[in-house]
Amino acid sequence: MKKIPCKKSELNLLYSLTGGQCFRWHKTDEEKWTGIFAHRVWTLSQDANFLYYEVFGSSVSDSHTVNTSEEEKKTRKTERRRKGCSAAKSVKLSSAGETITGKDQQENHINTLMFSESDAENVRLLRNYFRLDDLSLEDYYKVWSQNDPHFQEAAVKFQGVRILAQDPVENLFSFICSSNNNISRISSMVEKLCAQYGKKLTDVNGTSYHEFPEVVSLTHPSVENNLRKLGFGYRAKFIHQSACMIEKLGGSDWLYKLRNLPYAEAKAELIQLPGIGAKVADCICLMSLNHLESIPVDTHIFQVAVQRYLPHLKNCKSVTDRVYNEIGDYFRKLYGDYAGWAHTVIFCADLKMFQTNSTQESSNKPKARKRKIPS
């Protein structure tokens, strides 16, 4: 494996990968996580000061990777300028991975491919996925703690919670699957979707890994019926109908262009898709469209808001549009342009699955229980 400098206070893999943002990361060893992004299979681990990584397989050419990354760089640069992020202190990392040597070094896996691009590209992809250059969490945690005593309490135990920069296509269809569901079942659905309609990347330790399907592959008339047979229920219809509508609007390019719209406009565009309401639209805006002021308000966050911030809402029997917007606006005023990031820390801190891990994190094992994604 290779490594880059990255303090655990800036990135905690457990909270960032299992807190309900994404559903394709799996613990493959005592301290290792394996998942897929940027057309590669990654195995990650960490200690207090370093992030360790190994890369398996790639389904894209160098030119495609470079072109995509340059577009992403422009989008993120524009976003940081818009939010005044240039003054924020960024995490300083080396431009290329450092090879680990010594008796603990494992032999390269038989399926590991030698990329023609330098390893600096893999490091750049890794830093981009975890937004390591977007902001320093230590700095922002201090600011958010000054503004909110509840955040300050959570920040003591829940350091290193990062918003992932996910692919919008995967993020959108994954959250359609999240409706009235738990993380274990969502993960199962997403893997079935990939195995059925995604291109195979490679095999690692006997497990096959597939790309997330392209939008067009989900538009065939047989998709809904096939997904129902696989246990997707009513979500099968929403997946197929949304894929068809996205294709009519311009395909994945249409989704990427939503990054350049103001937050409210991007959210309004998403809500026109079948199976996507305000909460799911905000999840997509926050986790894959770079609208970091987005606040997904589910029943869980509603309860947190009532108990700690907006007690006058306790008599509300449901999260109406008015209540939803009031909670979102409150957190945006409290935390600023990166309100969605701060809100995610509060969300993780209040999850029962992390209560034991926050005090005994050395075990790095979340409780084996099904956690429902609040609607």
Catalytic residues: 279
Q: Where do we find the tokens 């990654």?
A: 42
Residue indicated by tokens 């029943």: 299
Which residues does 98 contact at the CB level (< 8 Å), separation at least 6? 2, 3, 4
Residues 6+ apart with CB under 8 A from 192: 230, 231, 232
Tokens for 152, please give them: 């300050």
Instruction: Write out the DSSP string of 162-193.
Output: ------HHHHHHHHHHTTTEEHHHHHHHHHHH
Rounded to the nearest 10 degrees, the angle between the axes of helix 235-249 and helix 168-177 is 150
* Strands (E) located in the chain: 2-5, 26-29, 32-37, 40-46, 50-58, 98-99, 181-182, 200-204, 207-210, 372-373
The packing angle between helices 321-335 and 137-147, to 10°, is 110
Task: Look at the block and give the residue holding tokens 């981009």.
Answer: 128
Q: Do the beta carbons of residue 151 and residue 145 sit within 8 Å? A: yes
User: Cβ–Cβ contacts within 10 Å for residue 156, how many?
Assistant: 11
Residue 153, C-beta contacts closer than 8 angstroms, at least 6 positions apart: none
